[in-house]
Structure 1
């Protein structure tokens, strides 16, 4: 392109010279085409530098993705320990299904599980909707296998066996509610505990079907168990797969999410799961309508200021932090003086301080004219305290703000 542009420019300049009284000799050096080798060298360097830059970006993104998934796997393993600790009977039932000598040997456990999966697939092929007791029992056992201490290797084995294709079918509205629940729970465990390679394997060509399967459960308000597992599964899928989040939002949206909070206001588990779902989706708020952004902000404000549950409050702060990337949300927050005062008070909380300072910094970056409003709320006093914080990230955020 550069060569062609140079030749075209030279030809035009020559025509101009022919029509003028300018001496050709004076512009000889200027008009002569450059040496190809001299011209190609900087272009090659530019291409190489660009490739290096793209490669570095890929490395940063892959590292970030790996860190996120490692954290999620750790959370799942912690969840497994809590499940086993709280429910000793379940732990005993797992041990009763698998002999101790098999549990102690990873190789024997792998062989045992492979055989169990193959038997389950045969049961599914002969599945009779009128009598699903045998299939349900096997499905329940598979789910309990995912709670083993060796859950990471078990999850990988379940995923690599293409079991998720069967689970997607069992979650469909045509199946019995018990089967749908067990299948959704197991599929969610696979998503939650999978590493990068396994997650890519399970979602590469299936994220649309998985999203639709969980969305069908999310629509069931009247069934508390299916609704909750729908939220949980959908969120575990969308936390890493942006395309799945966009697909769900475009098709279903969040028009009735406020009603869902009201419906389940006495169910802390569902409240937490809905808050977590909002936290995950708020990172994709660029695709939101303005109305949905304001709804999320309104709900997050309630979660922060009125909720006594620390997890829900934490989710609320993270939602506000992610929404402040948007100018409309920043303007809306500035008008909520009580919210600003409340957030600034949270700078004394080590768990929230980084998010709060980030929120204030985002507001100033979006709307410089609101700086005086924040000054009226004594933000400098809180920032000066934050500058003495032992955490480097907090001090950096404070300096940026």
Structure 2
């Protein structure tokens, strides 16, 4: 019996049927229409949708494995990088060994692009791509779940109700991650905490570390040894420009002024779309060092993850410009000044804080170490 059947990515033998069902899904076709042809005249939508469906059937005809699907994704990734970034740089990837399963514990800025950029770097380096942890809150539409699981995503059951159900979900997740790393020798990507760090402050949730430990704790493995078994590598992802910055600022501003924010039904899907097509400037992905034994508690382990993520974060000109403006100094980055002119006045300080916080957080850490 497959104990992970309801959370794991799709296997090769499932790919063809899932792709067939995707192309036959009106919701999927309508989403593509809204994504690519929203501004076209309404009377053309039906014939265009028919053509889209035919084109998709032709594209998927020769895809029968996850690797083949990801090769197709890689071609789209290359196009996206050319059109939405000025440069993508990978640091520390040369430290990773082939044939070894790593748990990449990453800061989180963008729902889809964070793991996508990690994946693309691994692909270019000839390493295995990652199995991606994704919350079930993003899977309200069946076609989204299918697409994610085709791309090696596995499901984190955030909507579990009650302590017993939640503990069972975390136990299953912990066992799946441990099995993926130690038995399957697969790589894993997971964010350091639930949800994106919309304010630019990166901080690991100790509950994530405790979840990692659950399956080995049952086997009486000491905490430090268990963590070493997982080959955890902190990852810092830095965007010069965040395509979703103004939307994030609007949420933070509303929370701070009213104490509440209600997401629209498919707001996360819009964030995924905006993150993919929006301008990002330079992107830097930094792989830290594998965390070895020597950390006896989740809190000690969290401190080391935070240290690596924050100190390895690649500071962008936008971070420096935002901090200068916060301090009442002129910005040396004219592009960032032009960018801010598009920001609504009531969100300007929130956006400045979002960009300045990674630099301030790094300066604070480095001053402690010196």
Q: TM-score, normalised by structure 1?
A: 0.24
Structure having the higher helix fraction is 1
State which structure, 1 or 2, has the greater radius of gyration over its C-alpha atoms.
1
Q: Which has the higher contact order (CA 8 A, sep 6+)?
A: 2
Structure having the higher strand fraction is 2
